[in-house]
Amino acid sequence: MVKSIYVGNLPFSASDEEIREMFAPYGEVQSVKLISDRDTGRFRGFGFVEMNDAEAQKAIEGLNGKDMGGRNLRVNLAEEKPQRPKRSW
């Protein structure tokens, strides 16, 4: 089963390829998605990595708190995004 991993506190210079290389020693990386601001297109400093279940847990344990570009990464299982209430204008 594929798990989604939240990766936060990334340096703004981080790239998909760098993240993929950082997670690769823990197993096969299914996908990497870095989140950008809708309006400006600038990277927001966090993203998501998808890996198989057991490999995901090893990556979380191995990378949480690791330094990348002078920042300590926050790595944990991604949580479902809460539903936003619809606006009724």
List, for residues 57-86, the tens digit of each pLDDT value: 999 999 999 999 999 999 999 987 777 777
**Does residue 61 lie in a domain region?**
yes
Mean pLDDT of 30-49: 95
Judge whether 12 lies within some domain.
Answer: yes
Beta strands in 26-73 (DSSP E): 29-36, 43-52, 67-68, 71-72
State the pTM of this model: 0.86
Enclosing domain of residue 7: 2-77
CATH number at residue 25: 3.30.70.330
How far, in whole angstroms, is CA 72 from its chain's centroid?
A: 13
Inside any domain, residue 85: no
Count of domains observed in the chain: 1
Q: Looking at per-residue confidence, does 20 or 89 come out higher? A: 20
pLDDT at 26 over 80: yes
Residue 89 domain flag: no
